Amino acid sequence: MKTLRQAVSDYLMMRRGLGFKLLHVGHDLGSFASFMEREQAPYITFDFALKWAMEPADVQAAYWAQRLSAVRGFAQHWSAVDPRTQVPPRGLLPFPNRRTQPYLYTDEDIERLMTAAKALRPRDGLRGWTYYYLFGLLSVSGLRISELLALEPRDVDLQEGLLTIRGAKFGKSRLVPLHDSTRHALVQYAQRRDRHINRQNAAKFLVSDHGRPLEASTVRRTFYHLSRQTGLRRASDCHGPRLHDFRHRFATESLLEWYRSGEDVERLLPVLATYLGHSNVRDTYWYLSSCAELMGHAARRLEKRWEVQS
């Protein structure tokens, strides 16, 4: 029988072949395999899984549950090979799983953020313009920040106004059409970028002042700095509006526009789900509950349906 470490490696390779990225799970299972080797454990048990999951001190219970969840997934797979394997049941490390309430940006919020971005140093460089267009594109496209940063020049069709999102969540690719005004704006950025870095072969569409790809951690730090500068966050705030909330705004605004214009939202929801790259339309339904106005529209639509049926 193969070693547990070999089994973990094969399991991750198999899951990644199905389109799962498993960045945190891969790290956690590697750590778990090392733990089992140190303990000289012959097979996975509840006790070993719990002991490893709860090793880090001074962390939230959700982190322990996340680690145990990684072991549970692997144990379910490995139990078919080694029947001695004990699969940790769900709820062994319970914690309240609450989705973060999104912040719905106003037009004024986005305008202030984009104006502040243009003033980033160096004043005569590309950095300010890159962040200006980054925030603008996030607000009108519904992209995940990882998808936006991964865009290559070949993925941005400035003639047809199409973005190609390659290998996104669950390994899926999709096409995202752009409004003509957005296409014109991206043409201006591409021209400015190519003049600044003096070459036409940038590795990514959005690049740093030196022509290199943007690091997600750097983008987030810059966003937090500008958020405080523009009043979206106070100087002492550890939490506040997120980059991901641009995606929530896009989805919410799309749904509100459909409701206000009398469209059949139930029929159009799968369209929005495909546009956003959701694997299941249930993920898109969640946006209905994140905005009071949307909930009101949905309730009134349901009341009218009941009136007709009665």
**Torsion sign, CA atoms 214, 215, 218, 223:** positive
- Going from the C-alpha of 169 to that of each of 47, 205, 239, 276, the distances in angstroms are 33, 20, 25, 10
- Contact 29/12 with Cβ under 8 angstroms? yes
In the numeric block, the tokens 């300010």 are attached to 128
In the numeric block, the tokens 């012959």 are attached to 42
Indicate which residue of 16, 166, 169, 192 is catalytic: 169
Indicate which residue of 127, 144, 196, 233 is catalytic: 144
Q: How far is CA 180 from the centre of its chain?
A: 26
- Measured between alpha carbons, how far is 227 from 268 in angstroms, rounded to an integer? 33
Burial of 20 (0-12, 13-18, 19+ CB in 10 A): middle
Please compute, for residue 236, the number of CA atoms within 13 A of its CA located in the half-sphere on the CB side: 0
Indicate which residue of 67, 247, 249, 297 is catalytic: 247
* Residues in the chain, total: 310
Please indicate whether residue 144 is annotated as part of the active site. yes
Indicate which residue of 11, 132, 189, 287 is catalytic: 287
Q: How many helices (H) and strands (E) does the chain have?
A: 13, 3
Please indicate whether residue 67 is annotated as part of the active site. no
- Measured between alpha carbons, how far is 310 from 298 in angstroms, rounded to an integer? 18
Dihedral pair phi/psi, residue 124, rounded to 5°:
-100, 15
Sequence-distant (6+) residues with CB within 8 A of 170 are: 19, 20, 279
Please indicate whether residue 169 is annotated as part of the active site. yes
Please indicate whether residue 247 is annotated as part of the active site. yes
User: Which of 48, 55, 38 minimizes the C-alpha distance to 74?
Assistant: 48
- Provide the 8-state DSSP code for 135: H
Please indicate whether residue 244 is annotated as part of the active site. yes
Task: Return the active site residues.
Answer: 144, 169, 244, 247, 278, 287
